Structure 1
Amino acid sequence: MTLRIAFMGSPAFGLPTLEALIAAGHEIACVYSQPPRPAGRGKKERLTPVHEFATARGIEVRTPKSLKKAPEQEAFAALNLDLAIVVAYGLILPKAILDAPKRGALNLHGSLLPRWRGAAPIQRAIMAGDKITGVQVMRMEEGLDTGAILSTATTPIEFDDNTATLHDRLSAIGATLMRDTLDKLERGETTETPQSEEGVTYAHKITPAETRIDWTRPAREIDCMIHGLSPAPGAWFELDGVRIKALLSRQGQGSGAPGEVLDDNLLIACGEGAVRLITVQREGRGPLASDVFCVVSRFPQACGSLEPNQSGG
């Protein structure tokens, strides 16, 4: 059976789900996305990836700055929807919006709830050293990611995963999960399981102060931090007053004063253990393998150690 759906999403994470809904034959009555924002050197207004995709396919796109006022809520209700599907939309949905579709609103969330409720679940899972994560289809309610769970798909977090690789994998898994969940919903085969009140953690947005490497921390934490912040915004340190991003790393063998360079291939001593930087990026330049970086920058010969504690903003 075809469902009449409003898709609400903004970044690329939601694109596979939107494509899957279209391929399954559902009617996308409208797409809601974040308003265009200035971007790039010319500060030209840029559409969100979901907005661009929908426009290219002739789907109506609405970009309200808020859904809290009556006119926006009335316009949404007038769509006469069966269901709203929300994937990384970025706006708070008031009760009037959640209640308007006949079957309410479902959200695809990139973690295993109640762990990592909030805006940055993928980054936080990697930074925390989690070994497994997943996506879940959740019944939306007014609380922050507190609704009942309809379905779950899991995936291991591999040692070489970063935010980009895990993002893409979860996005693809999530599209299949949402499609299958709607099929089961139509057949009356879904169950809604309330979330546990134990193990709740929050995936707050990444702040600039969190992105600077503190070499006094254990190597395990720094390695997870580097992968969780790669490729953007990037974990970083300073060399001769220039910001260097660490994009790929491995835990290594070695010891020394925190920030001490232990060999000629960017093995850096930490508070416990050592981290080998594999790919780095000098401010304003492209990414480089560590051995190439060492040659072109005369590092570490030019600098015997890094500032030990670089945790400030």
Structure 2
Amino acid sequence: MKRLLLSALLVALLAAAWGTWWWHKPLTLRLPADQGVLDVLVPPGTSGAGIARALVDAGVDSPAWLLQVAWRISGAATRIKAGSYEIAPGDTPASVLAMLVRGEQALRQVTLVEGWTFRQVRAALQSAEHLQDDLKGLGNDALMARIGLAGVHPEGRFFPDTYRYPKRSPASAVLRQAAQAMQQQLDTAWAQRAPDTPLKTPTEALILASIVEKETGQASDRGQVAGVFSNRLRIGMRLQTDPSVIYGLGERFDGNLRRRDLEADTPYNSYTRAGLPPTPIAMPGKAALLAAVRPANTQALYFVARGDGSSQFSATLDDHNRAVREFQLKR
């Protein structure tokens, strides 16, 4: 009997030792030829057995029952979070379980750039790595309704930033996050608006900020640029800003803005129409939003590019014409 007990104890000790070794031993992975990691998707509500099977199906070379038993013994199997994960060479059963419990999903990122149009935003989302394009084929109206902004024009409504997302996420989720970020930034900026701003609504601030974003070649000029346009709005002077005209031309713009373009009336032609254009013309960043609502205190009504990224500001048309001759015409 003693011998039997000793044998059982020895077997138990050997099993425990083997289990400890296996628990911390790197898993053997059957990696696809074109991948350095295994992709594993854990849907919400998946059981411990289902998760173990998902790992084996993905390419983990280990019995599913062994993974399931080990996780049950650990007491953490019920705390595994749903999501999209990557298992890399060197990962152990212990490290994989810890990753699943912490919800450390495989993330990718997409960057939306200040000054981009919505067309560029859609193109970036379509080409983003491991992002499901659930917006494909949707017109702008249907797309905005999909993300909870029915009736809102999409231009300028997304904050330029870098967004991280779990693999296989829908593009609409990223777009919804960017829209919420822009609304937060706009609300914050509007709360800081100058008492004498000519802007009447947050939407007008967003529109002006988009123009400031496109017109500013050097960050230090941003407040002055906003000041010029604010001054023009106060006195009813047309904004005469080329970027809005270009936006109105859409795909017809070939990179060369001609006199006939400035004279052809569109809702976005700020040479033929007074006031702000009907919508933003691009995505403004935080600095442009703040400049639009708190512009520099200036008497300038004009500015012209110096050719080095900065602008020359003038309070009178005569001074502006001299600046044009000096910096544009080189006379």
TM-score normalised over the length of structure 2: 0.22
Identify, as 1 or 2, the structure richer in strand: 1
Which structure features the higher share of helix residues?
2
Which of 1 and 2 has greater Rg? 2
